[in-house]
Amino acid sequence: MLKERNRSLSWLAMEMGKTFDGLKLGLTRGSIKYTDLKRMANILDIPVSEFFEESSDNEGWIPKNTLGEEDAHYISMKNELNSCKELINTLKSQLKDKEKIIELLGKAKQI
């Protein structure tokens, strides 16, 4: 909608009295408040329902992809993030094991 009106997300954020980062984060996470959706719809002169589409599997109304970006992109990033978290946990575990080994070797030298 913003592209059609030659407006940017930063313009919308300013009109709403929000920061660009705050608005984008709310839209990306899907955690934007209904009052903000109403304010956004008022600024864009559209009904709030424009931000939603009816689900084909009887789940009711679901949010449209508000930022106009591919959902697959976020799914891929989410999977990469989960992989990174698993790697971090593995590395922390290895570090803990190595610290324990060093501690035991230090005790063995004292004996």
Domain boundaries, the chain: 1-69, 70-111
CATH number of 1-69: 1.10.260.40
pLDDT in tens, 84-108: 999 999 999 999 999 999 999 988 8
Backbone torsions φ then ψ of 32, nearest 5 degrees: -75, 140
Instruction: Give the model's pLDDT for residue 55.
Output: 58
At residue 3 the predicted structure's pLDDT band, cuts being 50, 70 and 90, is: confident
Cα–Cα distance for residue pair 111/103, rounded to 1 Å: 13
What stretches of 1-111 adopt beta strand conformation (E)? 52-54, 61-63
Cα–Cα distance for residue pair 95/88, rounded to 1 Å: 10
pLDDT in tens, 40-76: 999 999 988 888 776 555 555 555 555 555 455 566 7
Higher-pLDDT residue of 16 and 64 is: 16
CB 24 within 8 A of CB 67: yes
